[in-house]
């Protein structure tokens, strides 16, 4: 394996409960953007293993009128600064800004880049000069698993593996290779698999590495 493709919200940074709308979503304000624990260390570990890293993220907030393009760039600067301070680096970032029900007409479309489509992953693989079969796809949502599976990546799900998620993915034949509680654990699983250390067992129809 040569590269790791990462979703952003829920993997790199925390999701936010927006009380006014009653929804859990990506951050809309600078003060809401916070990296999850041990993310810089996890990315440094991936770097140290010689794996290239890219972020591939649906970001429809601009299309929906939740934030301005400048705010998305501010989030990006903060994210990269925090990762660098922990000794890690991201090689490239690709966002899909579209949404089929966007308030902005120029962003209202059904595109090839919005996950679960594979366009973002294809762009990242081309930029990193790797094949998608040589990539891990790490995400916290069903669209991430679908996109990764369709692209031929090895997928890792971040979060609690709930019954309703498992039922959906079994129907789609897209069970992840691993389930991890966070990016740090996912990076350790990747290290164990790549180095051949740790014991691989089956749990709830998913593979788990005991380290």
φ, ψ for residue 124, nearest 5 deg: -65, -45
Between 158 and 20, where is the model more confident? 158
d(CA 72, CA 30): 9
β-bridge partners, 180: 158
Between 207 and 68, where is the model more confident? 68
The b/e string for 21-37 (b: 16+ C-beta within 10 A; e otherwise) is eeeebbbbeeebbebbe
> For 119-140, what is the mean pLDDT?
98
User: In this structure, how many other beta carbons lie within 10 angstroms of the beta carbon of residue 93?
Assistant: 17
Average pLDDT, whole number, for the chain?
Answer: 89
φ, ψ for residue 93, nearest 5 deg: -135, 135
Predicted TM-score (pTM) of this structure? 0.89
Q: CB under 8 Å to 96, separation ≥6 — which residues? A: 57, 58, 59, 60, 111, 113, 114, 115, 119, 120
Instruction: Assign 176 to helix, strand or coil.
Output: coil
Annotated catalytic residue 106: no
> For 126-131, what is the mean pLDDT?
98
Burial class (CB in 10 A: 0-12, 13-18, 19+), 210: exposed
Q: Report CA 27 to chain centroid distance, whole Å.
A: 15
> For 178-195, what is the mean pLDDT?
96
How confident is residue 26, by pLDDT bands cut at 50, 70 and 90?
very high
Instruction: Assign 53 to helix, strand or coil.
Output: strand
Roughly how many angstroms between the first and final C-alpha of the chain, as a whole number? 20
Annotated catalytic residue 91: no
For 29-40, the pLDDT digits (tens) are: 999 999 999 999
d(CA 95, CA 133): 21
For 48-103, the pLDDT digits (tens) are: 999 999 999 999 999 999 999 999 999 999 999 999 999 999 999 999 999 999 99
Phi-psi category of residue 8: left, alpha or beta, with phi > 0 → left and psi -120 to 50 → alpha: alpha
The reported pLDDT for the residue numbered 166 is 55
């Amino acid at each position: 394996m040569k590269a790791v493709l990462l979703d952003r919200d829920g993997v790199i940074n925390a999701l936010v409960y927006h009380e006014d709308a009653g929804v859990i979503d990506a951050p809309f304000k600078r003060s809401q953007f916070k990296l999850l624990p041990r993310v810089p260390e996890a990315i440094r570990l991936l770097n140290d293993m010689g794996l290239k890293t890219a972020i591939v993220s649906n970001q429809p907030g601009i299309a929906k009128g939740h934030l301005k393009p400048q705010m998305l760039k501010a989030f990006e600067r903060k994210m990269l600064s925090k990762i660098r301070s922990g000794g890690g680096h991201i090689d490239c970032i690709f966002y899909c800004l579209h949404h089929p029900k966007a308030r902005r007409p120029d962003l209202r479309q059904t595109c090839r880049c919005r996950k679960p489509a594979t366009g973002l992953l294809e762009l990242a693989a081309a930029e990193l000069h790797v094949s998608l079969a040589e990539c891990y796809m790490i995400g916290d949502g069903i669209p991430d698993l679908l996109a990764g599976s369709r692209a031929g990546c090895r997928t890792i799900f971040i979060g609690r593996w709930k019954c309703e998620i498992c039922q959906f993915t079994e129907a789609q034949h897209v069970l992840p290779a691993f389930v991890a509680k966070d990016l740090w654990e996912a990076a350790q699983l990747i290290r164990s698999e790549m180095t051949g250390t740790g014991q691989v067992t089956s749990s709830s129809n998913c593979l788990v590495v005991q380290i």
